[in-house]
């Protein structure tokens, strides 16, 4: 790969659980992504930006080293790859913001046959995981010394193969644990995808573009699930009705032509608006309730 001059680079997972949502975020921020003839690099045709498509494990290093200016990666991977002592070993990438997808939990789990009564039950036991650093820190903080076996994948089969007494693995629905006859015991780390940025400055002249991409992504993330709600409310029920609007700041209240008893209410709801909410609004006297999607927010 020849080094590209005068462009920003964003590291995203090439394929896997975060790949699609990462690309969606980039597109929603207004970047037109075109596949190059090179699978590793996608180009953005309307800005001097490239997407570097790599294994997620490499993303924190690329961003920390300044090979990429931004990256999208799971907090679990970032945490596991962190330098314990950044002053000696080079600065880490820093988290700009959580992105609201890729949510999962690193959990300690064991077969029901293990008589589990807290992390202390794992003293001297073998625990299989792909996250040895996070697990070691967790156990150390609790004064437990265990034998950590590092496995790259299929961690959940370790107890059945008698490779380990317990595991520490990522869980989202818990179906994999259940299918392997394992019981989740402790939450070791809560994770979601995050936007990370490099401690190194971007190439000359690109700082403004970098700031604007970050601001746009923040807008995309905060408008996710947000809705614009419009309704008519009897003046007498205005307080009750505005209190029902989920995650709304100060709503806009406007007069209705020819009516003194009712007003129009417009509000941005930051949280999902469910049917139950609409039913409660109706019951409180609201009429002509409209819930509209928000495309962009800044």
* Interatomic CA distance for residues 293 and 252, integer angstroms: 17
Using CB under 6 A, which of the segments 32-40, 73-81, 236-244, 272-280 binds ligand ATP?
73-81
Residue 118 structure tokens:
């807290």
23 vs 26: CA distance, rounded Å:
5
CB nearer to ligand ATP: pick between 56 and 69: 56
The vertex-290 CA angle with 277 and 284, nearest 5°, equals: 45
Q: Is residue 190 at the binding interface for ligand ATP, with CB under 6 A as the rule?
A: no
Is 56 near Mg ion (CB under 5 A)? Answer: yes
3-state secondary structure of 124: coil
CA distance linking residue 247 with residue 47, whole number of Å:
34
Q: Does 80 bind Mg ion (CB under 5 A)?
A: no
For the chain, what's the residue count? Answer: 298
Q: Pick the stretch among 43-51, 53-61, 211-219, 272-280 that binds ligand ATP (CB under 6 A).
A: 53-61
Cβ-count burial of 96 within 10 angstroms (0-12 exposed, 13-18 middle, 19+ buried)?
middle
**What is the nearest approach in angstroms of ligand ATP to the Cβ of residue 73?**
7
Is residue 6 within the footprint of ligand ATP (CB under 6 A)? no
Applying CB under 6 A, the span of 10-18, 41-49, 160-168, 199-207 interacting with ligand ATP comes to 10-18
Q: Which stretch binds ligand ATP (CB under 6 A): 49-57, 64-72, 89-97, 214-222?
A: 49-57
Q: Which stretch binds ligand ATP (CB under 6 A): 28-36, 61-69, 72-80, 137-145?
A: 72-80
Q: Kindly state whether residue 17 participates in binding ligand ATP, applying the rule CB under 6 A.
A: yes
Give, as ranges, the residues between 216 and 245 that touch Mg ion (CB under 5 A).
Answer: none
DSSP assignment of 261-288: EEEEEEEEESS---HHHHHHHHHTT-EE
108 part of the interface to ligand ATP, by CB under 6 A:
no
For strand 8-13 and strand 259-269, is the pairing parallel, antiparallel, or unpaired? unpaired
146 backbone φψ class: left, alpha, beta (φ>0; ψ -120 to 50):
beta
Give the pair of three-digit tokens for residue 273.
């608006």
| 13 sits near ligand ATP (criterion: CB under 6 A) | yes
**Site residues (CB under 6 A) for ligand ATP, limited to 257-276:** none
Backbone region of residue 276 per phi and psi (left: phi > 0; alpha: psi in -120 to 50; beta: other values) = alpha
Note whether 77 binds ligand ATP by CB under 6 A: yes
Cβ proximity to ligand ATP, 50 vs 56, nearer residue: 56
Q: Is 182 in the site for ligand ATP (CB under 6 A)?
A: no
Distance in angstroms (rounded) separating the CA atoms of residues 127 and 108: 9
At residue 163, φ and ψ (nearest 5 deg) are -80, -25
Scanning residues 157 to 176, which ones bind ligand ATP (CB under 6 A)?
170, 172
Q: Does 57 bind Mg ion (CB under 5 A)?
A: yes
Give the residues lining the site for Mg ion (CB under 5 A). 56-57
Binding site for ligand ATP (CB under 6 A): 13, 16-18, 55-57, 74, 76-77, 102, 104, 170, 172, 191
């Amino acid at each position: 790969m020849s080094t590209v001059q005068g462009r920003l680079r964003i590291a995203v997972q090439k394929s896997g659980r975060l790949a699609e949502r990462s690309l969606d975020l980039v597109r929603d921020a207004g970047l037109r992504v075109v596949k190059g003839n090179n699978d590793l690099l996608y180009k953005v045709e309307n800005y001097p930006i490239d997407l570097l498509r790599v294994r997620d494990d490499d993303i924190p290093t690329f961003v920390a080293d300044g090979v990429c200016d931004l990256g999208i990666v799971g907090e679990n991977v970032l945490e596991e790859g962190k330098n314990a002592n950044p002053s000696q070993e080079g600065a880490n990438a820093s988290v700009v913001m959580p992105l609201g997808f890729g949510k999962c939990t690193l959990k300690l789990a064991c077969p029901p046959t293990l008589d589990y009564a807290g992390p202390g039950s794992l003293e001297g036991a073998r625990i299989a995981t792909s996250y040895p650093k996070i697990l070691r820190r967790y156990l150390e903080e609790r004064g437990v010394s265990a034998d950590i076996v590092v496995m790259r994948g299929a961690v959940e089969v370790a107890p059945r193969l008698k490779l380990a007494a317990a595991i520490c693995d990522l869980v989202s629905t818990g179906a994999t644990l259940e299918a392997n006859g394992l019981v989740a015991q402790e939450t070791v780390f809560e994770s979601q995808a995050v936007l990370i940025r490099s401690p190194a400055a971007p190439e000359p002249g690109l700082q403004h573009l970098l700031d604007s991409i970050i601001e746009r992504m923040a807008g995309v993330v905060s408008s996710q699930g947000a809705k614009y709600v419009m309704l008519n409310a009897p003046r007498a029920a205005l307080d009750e009705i505005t209190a029902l609007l989920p995650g709304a700041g100060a709503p806009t209240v406007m007069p209705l032509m020819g009516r003194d008893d009712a007003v129009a209410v417009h509000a941005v709801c930051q949280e999902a608006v469910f049917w139950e909410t609409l039913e409660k609004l109706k019951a409180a006297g609201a009429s002509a309730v409209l819930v509209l999607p928000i495309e962009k927010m800044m």
